[in-house]
Amino acid sequence: MIKFIIRRLILLIPVLVGVSIIAFLMLHLAPGDPAELLAGLEASAEDVAALRVRFGLDKPLFIQYFMFLKGLFDGSLISLKYEMPAASVIIPRIFNTLKLACASIVVAVAVGTVAGILSAVRRHSIVDYLSTTMALLGVSMPVFWWGLVLIMIFSVYLMWLPSGGMGGLRYLVLPAIVLGTSSAGVIARMTRSSMMEILRQDYITTAKSKGLPSRIVIYRHALRNALIPTVTVVGLEFGYMLAGAVLTETVFSWPGVGRLIVDSIMARDYPVVQASLLLVAGLFVLVNLGVDVLYAFLDPRIRYD
Amino acid sequence: MEPLLEVKDLATYFYTDEGIIKALDGISFSINEGEILGLVGETGCGKSVTATSIMGLIPSPPGKIVRGSILFKGKDLLSLSEQQMRRIRGKDIAMIFQDPASSLNPVLRVGFQVAEAIWAHLKTPIREAMLKAVELFGLVNIPDPHTAVNRYPHQLSGGMKQRVMIAMALSLNPKLLIADEPTTALDVSIQAQILSLIKILQRDYGSSVLLISHDLGVISTMAHRVAVMYSGLIVEQGRVEGLFQSPLHPYTQGLLAAIPRVDEDISELAVIEGTLPNPINPPAGCRFHPRCPWAMEICKSKRPAFKAVKPYHEVACYAYAD
């Protein structure tokens, strides 16, 4: 297992190199000049040229790429927009994003698995119809709309929760629900179908024939087998939350990395975009590694050595 | 003496989109204490449904027991609540399934799966129940039982898995053991070992066994009495010696004739003409009449009743009416 983890961590290197090259090229091939944006509308051609030299934007592309790599390692990477070290721009944002993503995945897993199990166990009952309908709604509701609805109810009318910004746990509730909703739907649907599949297996009949209470049959015998496909989905959803929470972050003015990336793309803040993308890609790979490790704990047939 | 299990006019239907499958349409039989009853018939004739009906494990929907009674020690199992039935399952009536590969939970240790059965009924702590599992593993001749209890199903061979299933079934000394095709999925060399194990344990424990098989050889060596099923009905039952030596029902005769014999030079295999009837729309009267060489007019309209033609030998066929 340890060997497997090390091997996967080594594989992370080519992934990150690939991501860095693609991110670098896409940004530099896109139209728009950070020097012009930074200098402002009234700047003279000389001012712009000076800025270009200052940030090394006048150098050939591959030299710029290596300068970026060098900056990553020695911390000399500077945000063009904020004119401060890129690390101190990105790192607090990453922690904010992690905080939101963790809270959201907890919401999504709790709601999704419970709804999925209930659906599968009471197939074609009112509970099942309700939960599958809710899951479909959850998956299809646009985040910005759902976010605004919740703000209207809980912040404007009931005044229970803040409508945005960051602070204590209270600030986390609404964004976590909004970001977790579609994942809860996806997880519920996955859990339902895999539970239904597992409940048909012979070993479930064996478990019942032993005289086990149905609670044990469902949670010990069926759920653990049904969790394997669910865990895959949870991992993917968590990955998306790390990278793609822009809408939720915007609706709730949550200073996360998704918004940072979008803002930095607008400002052509190359170093910040590239470094953030690398970080997010790395996290995504790590989450998937975590999922693979979890498989081995859930299913003794899965061994990596 | 009162039989241990008495099934009377049991009918189990499955309500599907295509129609009602009458998997069992009124079967009656009984099993005495310490007796092995063989239940034979072709695939799809309702043998397994009989087993799951007795266990109270018919998936519902679509399945439903529509009439009849299952008296176990004089008590009708069909009148029990799920809670009461659960206390009987695994303790008084235990079951061994056809395919040991799919009957054990792949993510739980085999010893735990046995211990769990003990825990379910006696509330023995799992740690203690595991010791009992080790003992049971030894009893069913699993080598090195201390290590074996900690294995997962995929680490054991098919024969070993079936031994685990037997250990599980015997863990609470059940009065009745239902073995549904216990050797069908196993290699021939392993089959004999498993069968003799069941026989020895049955003798030592004094349990009764309902042995379901499509293999007449298995039934003839194992069972005391045998019931022959055809299309959801029992057509003939009696003691093994009598039934195998002089089968009465034309279907049983066909079945026995269809066994190729090694001591005869045969160029052609004997077959029963025709196929099993559609269970949704079975033929009226005797369900075997479209394939029967002796079919008479009455066979097409009225179902024959059971008749004791000889002592301990009954058949449902008009050919023996007088």
**Per-residue confidence (pLDDT) for residue B176, from 0 to 100:** 92
**Per-residue confidence (pLDDT) for residue A53, from 0 to 100:** 82
Closest CA to B306 of B25, B35, B27: B27
| Counts of helices then strands in chain A (DSSP H, E) | 14, 0
Tell me how far apart the alpha carbons of residues A179 and A181 are, in angstroms, rounded to a whole number. 6
Identity of the residue in B55, B105, B106 whose CB atom sits nearest the CB atom of A207: B105
**Per-residue confidence (pLDDT) for residue B244, from 0 to 100:** 87
- Flag residues of chain A having pLDDT under 50: none
Q: Say if residue B193's pLDDT is above 90.
A: no
**Per-residue confidence (pLDDT) for residue B118, from 0 to 100:** 93
Mean pLDDT for chain B overall: 87
Identity of the residue in A202, A225, A301 whose CB atom sits nearest the CB atom of B97: A202
Tell me how far apart the alpha carbons of residues B12 and B63 are, in angstroms, rounded to a whole number. 7
CA distance, residue B161 to nearest chain A CA (Å): 12
**Per-residue confidence (pLDDT) for residue A203, from 0 to 100:** 94
% pLDDT > 90, chain B = 32
From the candidates B107, B123, B124, which should be mutated to test the interface with A, based on the most A CB atoms within 10 A?
B107
Contact criterion met (CB < 8 Å) for B105 and A301: no
Q: Does domain A101-256+288-298 have CATH number 1.10.3720.10?
A: yes
Contact criterion met (CB < 8 Å) for A299 and B154: no
The ipTM of this complex is 0.86
Residues of B in contact with A300 (CB under 8 A): 106-107, 152, 154
Contact criterion met (CB < 8 Å) for A211 and B117: yes
User: What's the average model confidence in pLDDT over B220-239?
Assistant: 90
CA distance, residue B40 to nearest chain A CA (Å): 22
**Per-residue confidence (pLDDT) for residue B322, from 0 to 100:** 65
AA letter at B101:
A
**Per-residue confidence (pLDDT) for residue A237, from 0 to 100:** 93
**Per-residue confidence (pLDDT) for residue A68, from 0 to 100:** 86
For A264, the token pair is: 């930095």
Confidence of residue B274 (pLDDT cuts 50, 70, 90): confident
**Homologous superfamily in CATH for domain B5-92+214-320:** P-loop containing nucleotide triphosphate hydrolases (3.40.50.300)
Q: Give B257-270 pLDDT, tens digit per residue.
A: 887 777 777 677 77
**Per-residue confidence (pLDDT) for residue A58, from 0 to 100:** 81
Domain boundaries, chain A: 101-256+288-298
Residue in chain B lying closest to A298 (CA): B107
Residue in chain A lying closest to B119 (CA): A212
Contact criterion met (CB < 8 Å) for B105 and A206: yes
CA–CA distance from B145 to each of A130, B131, B132, B142 (Å)?
49, 10, 11, 6
Q: How many CB pairs under 8 A join A and B?
A: 76
Angle at which helices A126-140 and A170-199 pack, to 10 degrees? Answer: 130
Q: Say if residue B1's pLDDT is above 70.
A: no
Closest CA to B288 of B12, B49, B28, B45: B45
Tell me how far apart the alpha carbons of residues B15 and B18 are, in angstroms, rounded to a whole number. 8
Q: Give B143-158 pLDDT, tens digit per residue.
A: 999 999 999 999 998 8
User: What's the average model confidence in pLDDT over B216-226?
Assistant: 89
Q: Say if residue B60's pLDDT is above 80.
A: no
Cα-to-chain-centroid distance, residue A253: 17
Domain boundaries, chain B: 5-92+214-320
Residues of A in contact with B108 (CB under 8 A): 220-221, 224
**Per-residue confidence (pLDDT) for residue B47, from 0 to 100:** 87
CA–CA distance from A129 to each of A139, B17, B63 (Å)?
15, 20, 22
Interface of B with A in 215-274 (CB under 8 A): none
Tell me how far apart the alpha carbons of residues B127 and B112 are, in angstroms, rounded to a whole number. 9
